[in-house]
């Protein structure tokens, strides 16, 4: 009986100790900052044409003065591992500063609010809309990125109780009315930042026009660490793979189902530089043929030329062929 009581008391003490530690970490949020000293991010990159892309490493490297204010500099490690090509110039820097429970960034020679913790479900945060994968330029359609908080909760990572926000882009559907994919959402976790992308960068968008672009790459946090904390989400696929091993599908169609347009992403087999895509009706009649050149690329197609229905799209390159179904909905 005494042994049982001792075990219960010990377990209770551990529980209260754990809760006390969590509360202490929660209370420390009053003194939080971003980025934390020694912060490092490893982003998993899913590369072009559904192939695993490897990883990119970013780190806090120091401070600099801009317009009389001190800004933290977050730089990308030049040594990108895996098959992901660098999507940013080697000297690209993300500038941020933290003040009054809010994070600001400096881009396009202006200061923008990046994120504030003073949010509740239903609130809308308007931040900077970064579009495309080229130097985080702003969108040609709008520089405003209104994000509505659709979820606010807490997550325990190690001994740290951190705030979690799920934010939905409320303007995207109006900018691109033909978009039929999932809502554009970002998950922001205190201390780490956005975990399912770079900070509020949408790779669906190109910075040069208002056409909705095919998403060539996607990003997610694989690992985060700073001087007193580390959390590993998972290993990045594709790290260490040779280029010939990293390719997945040779033909990818997006959006599918399609309405007014669709895009064909293609990768040709080794030794083949010319090919074609044949679009055939369910009866097997070829209704359109698209000539391709180059080892890999993208071909845009006006799908308004096709009646609603299901079509077979075949990539034909020498003795190689692959067929993917395309659904047309008007």
Instruction: DSSP for 15-75, please give it.
Output: HHHHHHHHHHHHHGGGG--SSPTT-EEEEEEE-GGG-EEEEEEEEEEEEEEETTEEEEEEE
Q: Give me the mean pLDDT over the 99-126 stretch.
A: 94
Cβ proximity of 313 and 301 under 8 Å: no
The distance from CA 64 to its chain's CA centroid, rounded to whole angstroms, is: 27
Q: Give me the mean pLDDT over the 235-243 stretch.
A: 67
Q: How sure is the predictor about 257, in pLDDT bands with cuts at 50, 70 and 90? A: confident
Q: How sure is the predictor about 244, in pLDDT bands with cuts at 50, 70 and 90? A: very low
pLDDT score of 121 more than 90:
yes
Q: Give me the mean pLDDT over the 240-265 stretch.
A: 70
Instruction: For residue 4, give the H/E element and its range.
Output: helix 2-27
Comparing 197 with 255, which gets the higher pLDDT?
197
Mean pLDDT across the chain: 80
pLDDT score of 60 more than 90:
yes
How much is the pLDDT for 309?
A: 85
Here the tokens at position 50 are 């559904």
DSSP 127-194: EE-EESSSTTPBPSS-SEEEEEEEEEEEEEETTEEEEEEEEEESSHHHH-TT--S---EEEEETTTEE
Closest Cα partner for 224 from 267, 269, 189? 189
Instruction: Work out the angle at residue 204's Cα, subtended by the Cα atoms of residues 201 and 207, and round it to the nearest 5 degrees.
Output: 70
Q: Around Cβ 123, how many Cβ atoms within 10 Å?
A: 14
Which of the given ranges, 38-52, 124-138, 180-194, 258-272, has the highest pLDDT on average?
180-194
Q: How sure is the predictor about 122, in pLDDT bands with cuts at 50, 70 and 90? A: very high
Among 13-27, 53-67, 248-262, where is mean pLDDT lowest? 13-27
| Full strand arrangement of the beta sheet holding 286-293 | 286-293, 274-280, 309-317, 320-328
How much is the pLDDT for 108?
A: 81
pLDDT tens string 183-218: 999 999 999 999 998 888 887 777 667 777 656 567
Instruction: For residue 275, give the H/E element and its range.
Output: strand 274-280
How much is the pLDDT for 18?
A: 45
- For the entire predicted model, the pTM comes to 0.67
How much is the pLDDT for 177?
A: 82
How much is the pLDDT for 76?
A: 85
Cβ proximity of 31 and 98 under 8 Å: no
- Phi, psi at residue 60, to the nearest 5°? -70, 125
How much is the pLDDT for 135?
A: 57
pLDDT score of 23 more than 50:
no
**Percentage of residues of the chain with pLDDT beyond 90:** 38
Instruction: For residue 6, give the H/E element and its range.
Output: helix 2-27
Q: How sure is the predictor about 154, in pLDDT bands with cuts at 50, 70 and 90? A: very high
pLDDT tens string 75-87: 987 544 444 433 3
Q: How sure is the predictor about 19, in pLDDT bands with cuts at 50, 70 and 90? A: very low
State the sign of the Cα–Cα–Cα–Cα dihedral 281, 302, 326, 319: positive
Q: Give me the mean pLDDT over the 302-309 stretch.
A: 88
Q: Give me the mean pLDDT over the 61-85 stretch.
A: 77
pLDDT score of 246 more than 70:
no
């Amino acid at each position: 009986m005494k042994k049982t009581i001792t075990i219960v008391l010990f377990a209770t003490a551990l529980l209260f100790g754990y809760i006390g530690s969590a509360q202490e970490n929660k209370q420390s949020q009053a003194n939080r900052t971003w980025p934390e000293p020694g912060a490092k991010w490893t982003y998993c990159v899913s590369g072009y044409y559904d192939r695993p892309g490897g990883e990119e490493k970013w780190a806090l490297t120091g401070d600099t003065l801009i317009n009389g204010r001190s800004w933290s500099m977050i730089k990308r490690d030049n040594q990108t591992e895996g098959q992901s090509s660098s999507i940013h110039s080697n000297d690209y820097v993300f500038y941020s500063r933290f003040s009054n429970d809010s994070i600001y960034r400096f881009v396009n020679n202006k200061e923008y609010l990046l994120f504030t913790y003073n949010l509740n479900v239903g609130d809308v945060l308007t931040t900077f809309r970064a579009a495309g994968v080229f130097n985080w330029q702003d969108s040609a359609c709008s520089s405003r990125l209104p994000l509505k908080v659709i979820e606010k909760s807490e997550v325990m990572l190690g001994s740290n109780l951190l705030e979690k926000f799920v934010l939905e882009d409320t303007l995207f559907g109006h900018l691109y009315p033909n978009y039929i994919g999932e809502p554009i959402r970002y998950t922001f976790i205190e201390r780490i930042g956005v975990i399912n992308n770079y900070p509020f960068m949408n790779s669906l968008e190109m910075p040069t026009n208002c056409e909705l672009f095919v998403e060539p790459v996607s990003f997610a946090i694989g690992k985060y660490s700073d001087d007193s904390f580390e959390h590993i989400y998972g290993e990045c696929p594709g790290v260490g793979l040779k280029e010939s091993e990293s390719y997945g599908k040779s033909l990818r169609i997006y959006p599918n189902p399609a309405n007014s347009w669709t895009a064909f992403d293609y990768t040709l087999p080794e030794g083949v530089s010319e090919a074609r895509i044949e679009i055939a009706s369910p009866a097997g009649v070829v209704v359109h043929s698209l000539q391709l050149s180059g080892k890999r690329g993208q071909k845009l197609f006006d799908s308004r030329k096709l009646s609603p229905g299901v079509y077979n799209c075949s990539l034909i390159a020498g003795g190689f062929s692959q067929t993917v179904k395309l659904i047309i909905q008007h």
